[in-house]
Structure formats: C-alpha cells, structure tokens
C-alpha cells in the first residue's frame, strides 16, 4: 500500500462544484483498489450493504470513516466512468431510441448521491481539524 496523504478542506471540491470536477476528484485523488479492496467486485461487495442502508434511510451510516467515504466516492466515480447514466430518448422513427443527455431534473437526481458523499467527506475532514 502506498503512503496516502488525506485531503484538506482546501483540496476538497465543494459539494456544489461542477459534476466533472467531483468525478475527477473521486477517481484520481484516491485509489480504492489500493486502500479498500483489490478488485471492482470486492469493492462493490463491500459497499453493497452500506448502499442498501443508505437507500433505506436516505443517510450515509454515521460510523463511516474517511477511508470508507472516499472509497465509496471512488467506486461511484468508477461506476459512472464505466456506465454513466443512460437516458434513451424517442426519435421520429417509432420504436427507435437515441442515447441522450439526462434532462436537468434527472441529472440533478443522478448527481445527488455523489454530492452527499462529498458533503460527508468535507464534514469528516472539518471535524478532524476543529
């Protein structure tokens, strides 16, 4: 495992930053395969119960530390990179659809969990400073 320097509030993106900046931070500043689990499958399996609780309660578990939060953001950024949101929009030809960008309301809903994780990371870092 390589030495890891944690984030500071100055190096963390704001939760309302450009979504691509958030994804860049989640996927490049932290290596979840090195820090948490050594494969995509193992990482997914580790986070599945956490995600189920998050979906059920609407809140990230309060016991998640900085590494688990950053690993979750890493996993989410990797999943976005591999699949991203897929929105099929109708064409003028019946039965045919084109992939398109998400409408603004759906995009905001897609981004919400990413931003919630960044807020939790920022709160954790702020709490460890003050």
Contact 22, 118 (CB under 8 A): yes
In-domain check, residue 13: no
Residues 23-62 pLDDT 10s? 888 888 789 999 999 998 999 999 999 999 999 999 999 9
In-domain check, residue 7: no
In-domain check, residue 1: no
List the domain range (segments joined by +) for residue 79. 19-129
Confidence of residue 130 (pLDDT cuts 50, 70, 90): very low
Q: Which two tokens stand for residue 43?
A: 């990482």
Number of domains in the chain: 1
In-domain check, residue 6: no
As beta bridge partners, residue 9 has: none
In-domain check, residue 93: yes
Contact 87, 109 (CB under 8 A): no
Half-sphere exposure of 61 (CA within 13 A, CB side): 14
pTM exceeding the 0.85 threshold for the entire prediction: no
In-domain check, residue 43: yes
In-domain check, residue 9: no
């Amino acid at each position: 495992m390589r030495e890891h320097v944690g984030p500071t509030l100055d190096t963390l993106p704001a939760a309302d930053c450009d979504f691509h900046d958030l994804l860049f931070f989640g996927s490049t500043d932290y290596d979840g395969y090195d820090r948490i689990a050594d494969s995509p499958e193992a990482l997914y399996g580790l986070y599945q119960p956490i995600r189920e609780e998050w979906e059920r309660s609407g809140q990230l578990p309060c016991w998640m530390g900085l590494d688990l939060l950053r690993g979750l953001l890493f996993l989410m950024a990797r999943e976005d990179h591999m699949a991203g949101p897929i929105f099929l929009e109708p064409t003028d030809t019946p039965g045919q659809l084109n992939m398109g960008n998400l409408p603004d309301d759906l995009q905001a809903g897609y981004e919400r969990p990413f931003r919630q994780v960044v807020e939790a990371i920022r709160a954790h870092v702020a709490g460890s400073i003050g």
